[in-house]
Structure 1
């Protein structure tokens, strides 16, 4: 059965050009003759004659046998032999070494042609039923290091007779002529590609295996012949059956692209409102910092977003921002403190929890929280194990508290129902999921694959497809689904139709992952565009700095939250000094230092600190025939 995986074929082609090439040396296999005699106990006695031509210096050759091989021997043939049916008496026996399933045969060769005879027995590959014996086998698989030329194979049953009850089938699209004479079955190939596998199936009367007990007490002749008849019909029409779907797939590819482009162009998330930069900036700055961060993160909150919560409290007049006294600073950075100045009445649950969680210290100014208390140690890897454990325990406790706060924030009415499912996307993805699954299943049933694989593929695709649809085409599940079908396609016979199927999967998968699966509410959609505009202005140093220190400090907070604190700090430049002199505006006193102080990567609670968490946590913790057994590849070293 010829299975071509493009990458493997490409790699193999690098060797095929000159047989095998390794720098300044190469070799080729010019002739192979195989004589296989089945004994009455089911053992297959095999002799193989290989003729090698070496260009350069080699230590020996290899022969892989993936069945249960016994009594493997290798002999150097001094005089030119025509076939493998020669006696081993008088031949020089070569040193061999078994490495898992591969035999290494040692015989030095340099710029010469050499014949080597292999002799071995195969045990357990013949299945005996009450009426017939069944051998499904291959002498070569796709692991050959080079192409084989002038290959002849001769099979003999125990009776050394080919009768009307002897049946032989080749599992390949292109079959050589098969002849029956001298009591055996004979066929040959002028050329055997290194990346091809040539399976065959031999059926003969069970009474010839007089020394082998019955493996399965049932009659199988009829079912085997029916199975093989269907399989041979598949081989005969393989290209036709697979390629006939190519035009259909191309039509669906065209329709998918057209529909996908239309959906992208007309998607409700496309902003069509005002593009006035000043109006958009005002819109963003009128929104609560925590809500802005939540929307900017696609309705997610990460560990670093506790900073947005603090800025939210500040803009609502519940906390003031200041700096810790210099004599209390233990960090190399200048940390800020947030002092509670507001009332505790009518606080939301999330605000109340944030206060109880963070504002645990108190001085003459009131209850306060310092950023320094959440900083990750700069020299974590140099700490003693006990000290590292203290840090990790603190980090775990912070994560638990943050998760509770995040849950309370998301339960607020203003943070809910910001977007809804986009029904056209659900319909589009559903159709593509169903079509993709049906196409893959069709190809599996038309290809020359084991019946079991067809059932397994159908079951897997059904389960993954139903799960994906049930979860409203979740993007992660969609990615898993299309990855699954792509992997499954790699086991198909590659034809024009198969390439068309892969192209359809690529288009359908890409569109399903690119198309937004939800639509934002109108107000949120406008805010998202405002945030996008603000980011663009921050990144190009065009964001307005404000005309008052209050405005500048507010803008500095949004710059920090959106990840542009350092850029905006540099943009403020000398304005910051003049603003800071007009009152208590700690973020403007040294804006570059302020931006660095709010860098989320330095805090234990931020997601980026998880890298430190793992710094020291390493360690701890079909009928009868079935798939063909047989030989592997041949090569040299």
Structure 2
């Protein structure tokens, strides 16, 4: 009962605190900023924010970018009387700085307040040989909506309106509304969160009498030309973004249609395929079954298909023997293994069989070769503890991978295998087309969104190089998907949410299309056989296909269960011990004993040992937004 009470109180506490937090909100109805450029280049700023608090708050905040915070001094906060917006008998507030954020303490609850911030930014304006320049962003990325914003920048008194050239870089609705003698005024209605504004004001260099003169790398006329060109790009931004969105929607429609067609064709193709009987499949060679099942991509475990093919054709014999001594002390390793013996001339064998005998078997006497299944194994758990012993196994793994690769290529070149699977060249062409179009769309989006020139050039270089590499790598679905994902991540750095959403949908449809297009083109015969084999494998896993059949038939069925990697499920239906089955058939005994897993499982041990000491160091905290707020 006591536990129930505490549980109820615990839930109630979180519900109450959750609802109380949800009920808290604040808004900034307006922001009035007056900034004065001093003759030494410093910028003295006075900001007044009208807050509307809903719920209880401790105070207000003002955040700055790292670059601005490094040059900021004399920050002070004041509470203004309700009937005054600026100046007057302001009440000083206690402030505290954390990183680039200042906290001004003034407890508030369900009320409206005017809070004023004052501060100085050193060297905000710079003096050059033929001009002075003020480049300043009051909000690089506002962290909340402002109902109305007005910024007045006052220049030294000697500056005339005709000598002022003011430019605004903003992706919002703000405008420079007035340019008078010694002043520039910026105004906007709703100033949305996430908006950044940068004022760039050119005025005579003689106005900064006390400032240090910096060397000029460009003339005033060159700078003004660049500013006018950039201003034109900002003015045309909305129109270009709308054009980019239209292009994305059209291309999305084309890709979406292709996805639907690919799905329908795949479905219709599967419905029309015939199926082979299980008896027909059992007449196949084990290597052919493995080749069809894996679409011609063998792993080290598929060497068993080659060995069992030799056994089924009577070219090798097999028997159970004791495992190597190093496995006897390993609790996870079987105490027994199986030995294969080949007698005869290798020259009479097909090339894939010759390669298996040469690479896996050891010659004991003239024309007699032996192979032990446990020779494919990696290090034991005990050996993994001694890292100095792992070097030889790493070399062994490389040799084994090389054997698998050479044997796979040899099988693929055999006449009966050559035409079954081929590289789908349409996939490469489609991937290159999609990557080219998506790269072009992204670069157009970045240009339309007036992304900084350095970022735009970096995107051109990175994705241009990746697109060039795609000429070779585009046949890989993974490369194409990762490329498309990278393009989408790059689009997130733009400031148009709708464009990001549309582009993300387009990228998603393209990834779906790539996923539906097979990387390997299979012949009609291979398609029928593979579909039949997959069905057969499912029956081997779930049904008893051994009862009422002869020993030789059961042995043949178990060979294919091993090749299709379902020997454990199939062995359940035998209802006999591994030792008894060994006398009847070494294949049945091998499957029942579970000896097939360890040689390939053991290679995973070094990797698991290597990563056992890894840990999560944790992530970094998130920085606050730029602008005014509350806490």
CA 1:169/1:462 → structure 2, altered by over 3 Å: closer, same or farther? same
Of the three residues 504, 508, 511, the one matched with 2:510 is 508
CA 1:243/1:577 → structure 2, altered by over 3 Å: closer, same or farther? same
Whole-angstrom distance in 2 between the partners of 1:155 and 1:62: 22
What's 1:626 paired with? none
Is residue 317 from structure 1 mapped to residue 314 from structure 2 by the alignment? Answer: yes
What's 1:479 paired with? 481
* Aligned residues of 2:578 and 2:590 also touching (Cα < 8 A): no
Larger helix fraction of residues: 2
Whole-angstrom distance in 1 between the partners of 2:195 and 2:267: 52
Greater CA drift, 400-409 or 531-540: 531-540
What's 1:97 paired with? 97
Of the three residues 138, 153, 156, the one matched with 1:155 is 153
CA 1:74/1:631 → structure 2, altered by over 3 Å: closer, same or farther? farther
* Aligned residues of 1:129 and 1:220 also touching (Cα < 8 A): no
Is residue 300 from structure 1 mapped to residue 311 from structure 2 by the alignment? Answer: no
Whole-angstrom distance in 1 between the partners of 2:464 and 2:376: 52
Instruction: For residue 203 of structure 1, give the secondary structure of its aligned residue in structure 2.
Output: strand
Residue 78 of structure 1 deviates from its aligned partner by: 5.6
Of the three residues 404, 419, 431, the one matched with 1:406 is 404
Is residue 635 from structure 1 mapped to residue 629 from structure 2 by the alignment? Answer: yes
Is residue 371 from structure 1 mapped to residue 374 from structure 2 by the alignment? Answer: yes
Could you tell me which runs of 5 or more consecutive residues in structure 2 were left unpaired when the two chains were aligned: 1-18, 618-623
User: Scaled by the length of structure 1, what TM-score is found?
Assistant: 0.78
Instruction: For residue 286 of structure 1, give the secondary structure of its aligned residue in structure 2.
Output: coil
Could you tell me which runs of 5 or more consecutive residues in structure 1 were left unpaired when the two chains were aligned: 1-19, 622-629
Residue 110 of structure 1 deviates from its aligned partner by: 5.1
User: Scaled by the length of structure 2, what TM-score is found?
Assistant: 0.78
What's 2:588 paired with? 588
CA 1:64/1:547 → structure 2, altered by over 3 Å: closer, same or farther? same
Whole-angstrom distance in 2 between the partners of 1:434 and 1:284: 47
Residue 155 of structure 1 deviates from its aligned partner by: 0.8
Residue 578 of structure 1 deviates from its aligned partner by: 13
* Aligned residues of 1:31 and 1:148 also touching (Cα < 8 A): yes
What's 2:11 paired with? none
Instruction: For residue 550 of structure 1, give the secondary structure of its aligned residue in structure 2.
Output: helix
CA distances 1:15-67 after superposition (whole Å, capped 9, x unpaired): xxxxx983554444344332211122322122223344545544444322111
Instruction: For residue 94 of structure 1, give the secondary structure of its aligned residue in structure 2.
Output: strand
What's 2:41 paired with? 42
Whole-angstrom distance in 1 between the partners of 2:324 and 2:151: 91
Whole-angstrom distance in 2 between the partners of 1:546 and 1:224: 92
Instruction: For residue 543 of structure 2, give the secondary structure of its aligned residue in structure 1.
Output: coil
Residue 369 of structure 1 deviates from its aligned partner by: 1.8
Whole-angstrom distance in 2 between the partners of 1:456 and 1:492: 14
Instruction: For residue 191 of structure 1, give the secondary structure of its aligned residue in structure 2.
Output: coil
Whole-angstrom distance in 2 between the partners of 1:427 and 1:370: 43
CA 1:188/1:375 → structure 2, altered by over 3 Å: closer, same or farther? same
Residue 208 of structure 1 deviates from its aligned partner by: 1.6
Q: How many matched pairs? A: 591
What's 2:540 paired with? 538
* Aligned residues of 1:55 and 1:110 also touching (Cα < 8 A): yes
Match runs of 1:346-361 below 5 Å: 346=347
Instruction: For residue 401 of structure 2, give the secondary structure of its aligned residue in structure 1.
Output: helix
Residue 98 of structure 1 deviates from its aligned partner by: 3.1
* Aligned residues of 2:178 and 2:185 also touching (Cα < 8 A): yes
Instruction: For residue 277 of structure 2, give the secondary structure of its aligned residue in structure 1.
Output: helix
Instruction: For residue 528 of structure 1, give the secondary structure of its aligned residue in structure 2.
Output: helix
Match runs of 1:546-565 below 5 Å: 547-565=549-567
CA distances 1:73-115 after superposition (whole Å, capped 9, x unpaired): 2233363474455688xx535242332x223344555555544
Whole-angstrom distance in 2 between the partners of 1:26 and 1:500: 31
Whole-angstrom distance in 1 between the partners of 2:312 and 2:139: 75
RMSD of aligned alpha carbons: 4.3
What's 1:449 paired with? 451
Match runs of 1:13-162 below 5 Å: 22-23=21-22, 25-66=24-65, 67=68, 68-77=70-79, 79-80=81-82, 82-85=84-87, 91-92=91-92, 94-99=94-99, 101-109=100-108, 113-142=112-141, 144=143, 146-159=144-157, 161-162=159-160
CA 1:219/1:599 → structure 2, altered by over 3 Å: closer, same or farther? closer
Residue 524 of structure 1 deviates from its aligned partner by: 4.3
CA distances 1:497-547 after superposition (whole Å, capped 9, x unpaired): 665444433333432343124423555445433432323333442767783
